[in-house]
Structure 1
Amino acid sequence: MRLLMLWMSPCTQLKAVAFAQPVAFWTSSPSKTFCFAFRRGLKVAACRRRSQRSVLRHLSANVPDLAYVTGSTREPEREFQGAQWVFRVYLAPQLRAALRVAASDRKGRIFVPGTEPSLELLRKGIWERFSALQRLEGTPLHVVLVAHRPDSLELVDSDALLKEAWQAKAPLYLRFDPQISDSMIEEFRQRPRNTDGVRERQRARMLPPFYPAKELDAVDEDIQMLSFYRFVPIAEPEELASRLRFYLKPLAIRGRIYIAPEGINAQVAVPLRSLDALKRLLEAESPYLVELAGVYLNLDPQLLSAAQFAAQPPFRNLHIRCRQKIVADGLKEPLDLTQAGRELSPAEWHQALEDPHAILIDVRNDYETQLGTFFGSAEARPLNTRTYRETWKALEARLANEPRDRRILTFCTGGIRCVKAAAYLENRLGFQRVERLAGGVVSYAAEAHRQGWDPKFKGSIYVFDERLKTPVTNDILSRCETCSAPALDVLHCAHVPCHRRMIQCARCRHRLSGCCSPECQRGLELALASASNELHWYAQTMSRTAPWGTEAPILRELAAETHRKFPQAAHMMSGPVQGAVLHAVARLLRAQRVLELGTFTGYATLCFAGAMGPNHVQTVVTVEQDPNAADTAEQFFKCVAGQLAPIELHRGAVLDVLERFRDQAVAPFDLIYLDADKRRYITYFDFILDHRLLSPNGALLVDNVLFRPVYGKQKHAQMEDVEFGEHAERIALRSRKLMDAVHAFNQHVLEDARVTQVILPIRDGLSIIQWR
């Protein structure tokens, strides 16, 4: 064998790798490759970062006798598949901002049939994919298609140019016509969504009269957990999201709500004082949210006390997000959800379980089935899937030889997954007697509790919030995956490249440091050793910015409070070493006005204000969107009022505050520290430079520019699981997206002729940007 190549994936399992000498790896994930090699005792001669396509193209041309092993679970994506052409199309930032398009909808793959690429068919596909473009109808604004860069003037306006762009593998961008003035675009961006119905929109945005007289801003009473969903066409998901935020925030409701063109899916925590108002808001004749009028509210059988909620809140904030689908099914063709079987009430379901001729299908994943399931006379056939996308093949395998008139009973946690599963059984597999449990196991458990039944569901329900499970009976059905002892704890492997969900007893969790296997434990130890090496501690020990050292008592108190209140996010604090660097830069620049974008709990803010020693700062302006973090920061800012430089805390989204600064003609800042949403770094950077918020001799510091996944810092993750339309490995996927966003930002700054950039390898990287 001349060469072994390995593309790592967290779920890849190579059964045998045999060789006797060091091997060179080409991979898109060097850290995963080293981890894989370490766990198997392999010797790595070199590890280079390069994409699959470029490696294969290079080696096929230069290495005649190539032998390799690939760990990828899929073939490299081909640009031309049969008689169709595949184009990647992106919305340019200016167009996306004007249309108020969510980040998840900024790009798409367009498939164009035919033996030659057709610009007309591509345009048709673009208008179908990006429905937000319909907002430009009736306006003087129009868009053009360009290649390579979003600000390119290279128009793609013919079939020949389209084919050339495809052959060059150039990305395509939709942008406003270059001849359109910026003032016209800005006027369009600032106008209300419905200019013809402003009065009706304003009237609809008035809070209902049955709302509490005073807006609730704290949770100090019992909590009702509930969920609801509805499959209904939604033309503008973002507009509905805006209305939901307006109506739900005054009720102090927390949770996750996903909105897509196919419908809405929600799981929320509601204070008892707000429950009646929420019911009236969503009742059948309600004029406020017509898309949800009369929706069924699936209430948990047990209330959470205020003490339980404070100790372990299922949700910390209200997150309303727009998605492509509310349940990520992986299907290319949509299902006809009007034919989704017959819905059974909990009472009807209780009786149906005694039918010995029925087949009982558990649509949930394997770890959910292990925690609890139904017992009855019906023949149980759990699907034992790891993700919802595996459901369809599992259904085909379980029911391959069954007559199409046999009775099929399906159930899931809240009922939403069964709608699509039942539709698949009827639409695609042709079954005629499909029935599903209305409201899922949650509804059944609540009805059993009210009626005093002996529930036929034994064990616990897996739920999609911080609780992870809620008991229905005291039965323990699940077993520790490591030692097979009875266990109920659901967690994720602490080694992020693995991160699989598992059930593990307390003894094994302690013995393996929260990992699923000794191999993952060794990988975690290696990553932790690398992340917190001796050089970091040496640098902290040897740093001195004031007579007391670096970390003043107020900073130590703040760090302790942050670890207590935000244990899973405490790693986001700047810390003594980075705080000392920020303080030093402020002194070197003799900065008087400092702007911080992303306060968190205020560690870096206090460093700028003088907590690490005297400097020239006269005002620190800081911006934070998270209300809980802002409350903690404000508490500490009040403690040092009059002792350090004045601190102005602005609450809200970073871009909204920056726009307010622009409108108020705020004076430029000598030092700006950017530590906010990594995926919007480019937007913030461009806004700061375009509107001259940075003084001519100032510096823009940007944190996390060398971001890599943080190993072992989460006890478990807030997973958006398949019930809410996301793949179970969300943390690994999010880390990869953040890495890509940070790399795109670094490249964007590098190509900007207005500035210079220096990146320091401090923690996750710190970039110093100045005007040329």
Structure 2
Amino acid sequence: MLSSPVLRCIAASVRMLFSCSSHLSPNPNPSLHRTMKAATEASRTPHLSLFSNPMVPNSNSSSQAFPQSITLSKCFSVTLSPVVVSEDSEVQSRDSLVVVSFYKFADFPDHADLRKPLKALCEELRVSGGIILAPEGINGSICGTRESVERVLEFIQTDDRLKGLRQIESPVSPEEEAIHHGHSNSSPLAAGEDAPFRWDHVRVKLKKEIVSLGMPTVSPTKRVGKYVSPRDWNALISDPDVVVIDVRNDYETRIGRFKGAVDPYTTAFREFPSWVEDQFQLAEPDGQHSQVEANDSNGSPKKQAEVQGEKMPPRVAMYCTGGIRCEKASSFLLSKGFKEVYHLEGGILKYLEEVPETESLWEGECFVFDKRVSVDHGLAQGTFKLCYGCKKPVSDADMEAPEWEYGVSCPYCYSSKSNEEKERARARQRQFETWGIIGGPDKGRRPTVKKDDSERCENQLSNSV
């Protein structure tokens, strides 16, 4: 029986062959695909004997030898020289993929100078994701091996103004790792150019703000609310005198939020200042309750929780996914005269990571802006999927609705899309199903095909147009 490190190496070799073969034909060898899947599963199961070989003894030693030859299918055979593999958990950890979201507000007027060297370093280290540079700082989410990601973060912080990045690390599932390396033929269509897990692909953008409030003059570097650690958050929001506000968008709050939090039902962070000015009007009589109404995707009225008491409450606590939006929102509230403003340090993600589920006041799942779609306590991947028509989360029940069409629409965007938009989405979906995954080294080019496959591929293309 082979040890798990040996199986992991075998699985890596199989994945390499599978990746190469997937670029030779839009329909990879099914038997090879099955073998790759089996090898990958076996590499994660220490006691599964995938390849039996009398040359490899079954022992409890920390190192074993590879077999001389492994036949993967009728078409492929891998010949390996005997290699001794040592079980080194630290090395394995360094080779595993991680996702790190980070940001830092700073006075950064020459931000454009960082773009080219940062992008070049990410491409050299095969780090993917999206990074935003603006006069107010940096904001990003990147994916790669731990060593590569650490090198990128160290490079960013060589600028003294960007030292002390606020970081949140998340695990990577095997499915996400497959997408990152370009080994999956089920990469979601139109999943978002800035989403992590797109191998050999990173975007470094220049913008006016690292998080778009529409008010570049509002700067957390000048004044900001009080940070509250996840461990102290429950006590704060349980105080009846504290108004808790969720500053995320309506499609995020729909799938989860903190118990008793006020939901502004904004569709974008830019709407938050207007909501505050409408919600907390001092001209209204004291003692009245304020209530905001909005329409859901079906046009039906929906009501948010009431804000009791004074129109400008003495204490406000805010939260968002990773902390960046509520940090800027706290600066905005202070500029409007609010006295005590608090925000959750590290956001919901840090809370779900550190606070046990038995003690948690969080209800539902947390939407994330990558291919995980949502996460639960312990940052485990959630149950929601993504509608690639509107890039909003959908549940299993949503996908049973008549408005659901994969890659085209869901119950939340169906009525807002014209027939022309739906037809364009269907055309993209047909193209994706014909030519395979989006991204990878052949992005934007027709796959290389063998002569005997050319006629079949031409027929596929004509049928999809």
The verdict on a shared fold, with TM-score over 0.5 as the criterion, is yes
Q: 381, 400, 409: which is aligned to 1:507?
A: 400
- Residue 204 of structure 2 corresponds to residue 320 of structure 1: yes
State the match for 1:418 in structure 2: 326
Shift of 1:225: 1.3
Cα distance in 2 between the residues matched to 1:530 and 1:244: 36
Q: Secondary structure at the match of 1:303?
A: coil
Q: Secondary structure at the match of 1:248?
A: helix
Cα distance in 1 between the residues matched to 2:110 and 2:270: 26
Cα distance in 1 between the residues matched to 2:109 and 2:379: 45
Shift of 1:476: 13
Q: Secondary structure at the match of 1:252?
A: coil
Q: Secondary structure at the match of 2:359?
A: coil
* Residues 630 and 355 (structure 1), Cα distance of their counterparts in 2 relative to 1, 3 Å cut: closer
| Residues paired across the two proteins, number | 312
- TM-score, structure 2 as length reference: 0.57
Identity over the aligned pairs, expressed in percent? 25
User: RMSD of the alignment, in Å?
Assistant: 4.0
- Residue 275 of structure 2 corresponds to residue 394 of structure 1: yes
Shift of 1:526: 8.0
Cα distance in 2 between the residues matched to 1:529 and 1:475: 31
1:129-148 deviation digits (Å, cap 9, x = unpaired) = xxxxxxxxxxxxxxxxxxxx
Cα distance in 2 between the residues matched to 1:367 and 1:529: 21
Shift of 1:281: 4.2
Whether contact under 8 Å (2:317, 2:343) holds in the other structure is yes
1:534-557 deviation digits (Å, cap 9, x = unpaired) = xxxxxxxxxxxxxxxxxxxxxxxx
Cα distance in 1 between the residues matched to 2:426 and 2:381: 39
Cα distance in 2 between the residues matched to 1:491 and 1:630: 22
Cα distance in 2 between the residues matched to 1:224 and 1:348: 27
1:434-473 deviation digits (Å, cap 9, x = unpaired) = 0011111112122226xx7633222221111233322338
- 1:465 is matched by which residue type in structure 2? D
State the match for 1:228 in structure 2: 102
1:727-763 deviation digits (Å, cap 9, x = unpaired) = xxxxxxxxxxxxxxxxxxxxxxxxxxxxxxxxxxxx9
- Residue 416 of structure 2 corresponds to residue 523 of structure 1: no
1:413-452 deviation digits (Å, cap 9, x = unpaired) = 1111112211111112x11110011111112122226xx7
- 2:314 is matched by which residue type in structure 1? R
State the match for 1:458 in structure 2: 363
Structure with the greater alpha carbon radius of gyration: 1
State the match for 2:18 in structure 1: none
Shift of 1:389: 1.2
- 2:196 is matched by which residue type in structure 1? P
- 1:456 is matched by which residue type in structure 2? L
* Residues 502 and 400 (structure 1), Cα distance of their counterparts in 2 relative to 1, 3 Å cut: farther
Q: Secondary structure at the match of 1:264?
A: strand
Cα distance in 1 between the residues matched to 2:365 and 2:102: 20
- 2:146 is matched by which residue type in structure 1? L
State the match for 1:346 in structure 2: 230
Cα distance in 2 between the residues matched to 1:412 and 1:258: 18
State the match for 1:445 in structure 2: 352
Shift of 1:410: 0.4
Whether contact under 8 Å (2:403, 2:409) holds in the other structure is no
1:546-578 deviation digits (Å, cap 9, x = unpaired) = xxxxxxxxxxxxx89972222xx8xxxxxxxxx
- Residue 436 of structure 2 corresponds to residue 564 of structure 1: yes
- Residue 166 of structure 2 corresponds to residue 303 of structure 1: no
- 2:348 is matched by which residue type in structure 1? V
Q: 377, 381, 387: which is aligned to 1:491?
A: 387
- TM-score, structure 1 as length reference: 0.36
With a CA cutoff of 8 Å and minimum separation of 6, indicate the structure with the bigger relative contact order. Answer: 2
Q: 347, 359, 372: which is aligned to 1:467?
A: 372
1:587-625 deviation digits (Å, cap 9, x = unpaired) = xxxxxxxxxxxxxxxxxxxxxxxxxxxxxxxxxxxxxxx
State the match for 1:766 in structure 2: none
- 2:104 is matched by which residue type in structure 1? R
1:702-741 deviation digits (Å, cap 9, x = unpaired) = xxxxxxxxxxx9xxxxxxxxxxxxxxxxxxxxxxxxxxxx
Q: Secondary structure at the match of 1:274?
A: helix
For residues 714-753 of structure 1, what are the structure 2 equivalents within 5 Å? none
Q: Secondary structure at the match of 2:254?
A: helix
Cα distance in 1 between the residues matched to 2:400 and 2:121: 46
* Residues 335 and 400 (structure 1), Cα distance of their counterparts in 2 relative to 1, 3 Å cut: farther
* Residues 414 and 290 (structure 1), Cα distance of their counterparts in 2 relative to 1, 3 Å cut: same
More off after superposition, 382-391 vs 460-469: 460-469
Whether contact under 8 Å (2:280, 2:312) holds in the other structure is no
State the match for 1:184 in structure 2: none
Whether contact under 8 Å (1:234, 1:260) holds in the other structure is yes
Cα distance in 2 between the residues matched to 1:520 and 1:417: 27
- Residue 113 of structure 2 corresponds to residue 247 of structure 1: no
Whether contact under 8 Å (2:323, 2:347) holds in the other structure is yes
- 2:442 is matched by which residue type in structure 1? A
1:297-331 deviation digits (Å, cap 9, x = unpaired) = 2112x333334645458331110011122122123
* Residues 475 and 371 (structure 1), Cα distance of their counterparts in 2 relative to 1, 3 Å cut: farther
- 1:321 is matched by which residue type in structure 2? K
Q: 426, 443, 448: which is aligned to 1:636?
A: 448
Q: Secondary structure at the match of 1:636?
A: coil
- Residue 254 of structure 2 corresponds to residue 370 of structure 1: yes
For residues 61-140 of structure 1, what are the structure 2 equivalents within 5 Å? none
Shift of 1:357: 1.6
- 1:455 is matched by which residue type in structure 2? S
- 2:215 is matched by which residue type in structure 1? L
- 1:506 is matched by which residue type in structure 2? M
Cα distance in 1 between the residues matched to 2:426 and 2:150: 52
Cα distance in 1 between the residues matched to 2:379 and 2:145: 27
State the match for 2:161 in structure 1: 291
Q: Secondary structure at the match of 1:297?
A: strand
* Residues 519 and 423 (structure 1), Cα distance of their counterparts in 2 relative to 1, 3 Å cut: closer
- 1:470 is matched by which residue type in structure 2? V
Q: 91, 115, 135: which is aligned to 1:261?
A: 135
- 1:254 is matched by which residue type in structure 2? S
